[in-house]
């Protein structure tokens, strides 16, 4: 049955992607407000030690993402996309609520940082699982004519979650004193996250299950269905699993370089003050967010492969020149145009990577196949982007990082050139 874009489709998009926004809002809120709550959980005389402790807990959450992708991916494959969506948002809501109400070190001693670590472990599981469940749900609910467009809302909500966290930070900074933020104000954004999570939970409870999963359930009832597992993924579909890792590596490195690391680059290398750097990156992210659906829709017309190849070619040609130019620019408007141009290039990966991965796998192992290889590649290349960049800079070889990003994009480009276009050879039979 062909489905056009209508109100019911918009409900599916909202239910599938709104949770992703909340997940990433909560994820970025931790980083944005760590300056305020670090002394509450890690009381030391050295501010740097406090922040390092908070950063270590952040890293623990990042490490848990592949584990979450594995556990939650299997859960969504076995019990349904809707079940996976409600479970993942429940975990994120719980983690945010725990941080919002957790007593400090002064009240309960060493149990305070333990609660913080536990909450981050729960959130890490949630973020790792959300990607596979929401990606699979959105793509399976779309008709074959609109899969790229539907899937493009995953990066839209990722960026909107980051911008929402930034907006809450700016609002609280402008309306509260520094003392109040340190004492109790930092709890507000986590409470907001938990309340938003509850709202999304009820939205997702009213979603319908995808036709693909319902058909798979019928196959299982007839004794013909297969079961999802990590062992099955890497033994029965090793080529596709490693294909996901290969096509992700260059794209996720480029994404984190042009988003998370860009702000620090504009301050530490270019020389802008923090306020100006924030304005530049925020404006560039807004442009980036709004063009995702356009490129996703374009892939529905011309295919996924040309879009990915365009990203690979332009990434190889322009990554080094753009960052060299950014390192020497003094005009914020020029810096914005360069940053936006870099993100427009990355759009060729982010707007369609979800639909490409989803179209690679059969229904019974789709959520796991999308989530786990992506999470592994993301942890290896995306999660380390900032560290590697700063390592090159500390050695006086900052330009070496630009070449590293270029080479990784080039390696992914080889994959794009040699793989089949999933729009033509999709494993999704419905729609």
pLDDT digits (tens, 9 = 90+) for 398-412: 899 999 999 999 999
Look up residue 361 and give its DSSP letter: S
pLDDT of residue 380 exceeding 80, the answer is yes
Nearest-10 crossing angle of helices 304-328, 398-418: 170
**Domain layout of the chain by residue ranges:** 1-209, 229-424
d(CA 73, CA 83): 11
Report d(CA 70, CA 85) in Å as an integer.
Answer: 15
CATH topology of domain 229-424: Growth Hormone; Chain: A; (1.20.1250)
- For tokens 């597992």, the residue is 229
pLDDT band at 176 (very low <50, low <70, confident <90, very high): confident
Q: Among residues 28, 256, 13, which one has the least CA distance to residue 123? A: 28
Largest CA distance in the chain: 67
- The residue ranking higher by pLDDT, 371 or 260, is 371
Q: H/E element holding 300?
A: helix 274-302
The yes-or-no verdict on residue 85 having pLDDT over 70 is yes
Q: How far apart are CA 118 and CA 125, in angstroms?
A: 11
pLDDT confidence of residue 373? 93
* Distant-in-sequence, close-in-space partners of 74: CB < 8 Å, separation ≥ 6: 228, 229, 230, 367, 368
- How far is Cα of residue 302 from the mean position of the Cα atoms in its chain? 26
What are the C-alpha distances in Å from 199 to residues 23, 35, 153, 302?
13, 28, 19, 37
Quick one: pLDDT band at residue 273, thresholds 50, 70, 90?
confident
Percent above pLDDT 90 for the chain: 39
Torsion (CA) 419, 238, 315, 157 in degrees, nearest 10: 110
Confidence bin at 105 (pLDDT 50/70/90): confident
pLDDT digit string, tens, across residues 136-165? 888 888 888 889 998 898 889 888 988 888
Phi, psi of 225, rounded to the nearest 5 degrees:
-75, 155
CA separation for the pair 401, 254 (Å, rounded): 11
Confidence of residue 1 (pLDDT cuts 50, 70, 90): very low
φ/ψ of 226, rounded to 5, equals -110, 160
3 pLDDT above the threshold of 60: no
pLDDT (0 to 100) of residue 94: 93
Residue 395: per-residue pLDDT: 84
The end-to-end CA distance of the chain, in Å, is 6
Torsion of CA 75, 78, 79, 82, to 10 degrees: 70
Between 291 and 213, residue with greater pLDDT: 291
Q: Do domains 1-209 and 229-424 have the same CATH topology?
A: yes
- The residue written with tokens 């990082």 in the block is 401
What is the pLDDT, as a whole number, of residue 282?
87
Q: Return the closest-CA partner of residue 159 out of 65, 286, 33.
A: 286
Q: What is the pTM of this model?
A: 0.84
Average pLDDT, rounded, for the chain:
86
- Predicted pLDDT at 372: 92
**pLDDT tens, 204-261?**
888 888 888 888 888 777 666 677 788 889 999 999 999 999 999 999 999 989 987 8
Q: In 42-110, where does DSSP find H-type helix?
A: 47-79, 81-101, 105-108
In which band, very low, low, confident or very high, does the pLDDT at 298 lie, cut at 50, 70 and 90? very high
Q: Is the pLDDT of residue 50 over 50?
A: yes
Higher pLDDT, 218 or 299: 299
Q: What is the CATH number of domain 1-209?
A: 1.20.1250.20
Distance CA 383, CA 402 (A): 16
Q: Span 317-330, mean pLDDT?
A: 94
Instruction: State the SS3 of 157-206.
Output: HHHHHHHHHHHHHHHHHHHCCHHHHHHHHCHHHHHHHHHHHHHHHHHHHC
So what's the pLDDT on residue 396?
Answer: 87
Least reliable range by pLDDT among 43-47, 216-220, 256-260, 350-354: 43-47
């Amino acid at each position: 049955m062909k489905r056009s874009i209508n109100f019911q489709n918009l409900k599916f998009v909202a239910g599938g992607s709104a949770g992703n926004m909340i997940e990433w809002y909560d994820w970025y809120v931790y980083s944005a407000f760590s300056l305020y709550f670090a002394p509450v959980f890690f009381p030391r005389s050295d501010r740097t030690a406090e922040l390092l402790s908070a950063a270590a807990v952040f890293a623990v959450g990042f490490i848990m993402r592949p584990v979450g992708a594995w556990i939650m991916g299997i859960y969504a494959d076995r019990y349904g996309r809707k079940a996976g969506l409600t479970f993942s948002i429940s975990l994120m809501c719980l983690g945010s609520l725990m941080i919002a109400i957790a007593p400090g070190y002064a009240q309960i001693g060493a149990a305070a940082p333990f609660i913080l670590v536990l909450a981050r472990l729960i959130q890490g599981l949630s973020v790792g699982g959300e990607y596979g469940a929401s990606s699979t749900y959105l793509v399976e609910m779309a008709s074959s004519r609109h899969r790229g467009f539907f899937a493009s809302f995953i990066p839209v909500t990722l960026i909107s979650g980051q911008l929402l966290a930034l907006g809450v930070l700016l609002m609280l900074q402008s309306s509260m004193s520094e003392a109040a933020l340190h004492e109790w104000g930092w709890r507000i954004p986590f409470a907001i996250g938990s309340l938003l999570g509850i709202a999304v939970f009820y939205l997702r409870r009213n979603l319908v299950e995808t036709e693909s999963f319902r058909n798979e359930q019928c196959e299982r009832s007839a004794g013909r269905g297969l079961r999802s597992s990590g062992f099955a993924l890497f033994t029965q579909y090793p080529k596709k699993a490693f294909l996901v890792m290969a096509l992700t590596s260059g794209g996720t490195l480029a994404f984190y370089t042009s988003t998370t690391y860009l702000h620090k680059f504009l301050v530490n290398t270019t020389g802008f003050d923090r306020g100006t750097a924030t304005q530049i990156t925020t404006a560039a992210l807004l442009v980036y967010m709004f063009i995702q659906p356009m490129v996703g829709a374009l892939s529905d017309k011309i295919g996924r492969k040309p879009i990915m190849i365009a990203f690979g070619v332009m990434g190889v040609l322009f990554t080094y020149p753009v960052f060299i130019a950014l390192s020497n620019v003094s005009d914020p408007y020029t810096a914005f145009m360069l940053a936006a141009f870099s993100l427009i290039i990355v759009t060729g990966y982010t707007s369609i990577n979800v639909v490409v991965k989803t179209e690679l796998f059969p229904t019974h192992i789709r959520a796991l196949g999308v989530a786990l290889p992506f999470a592994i590649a993301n942890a290896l290349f995306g999660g380390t982007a900032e560290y590697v960049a700063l390592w090159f800079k500390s050695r006086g070889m900052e330009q070496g990082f630009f070449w590293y990003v270029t080479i990784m994009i080039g390696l992914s480009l080889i994959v794009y050139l040699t793989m089949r276009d999933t729009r033509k050879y999709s494993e999704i039979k419905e729609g």
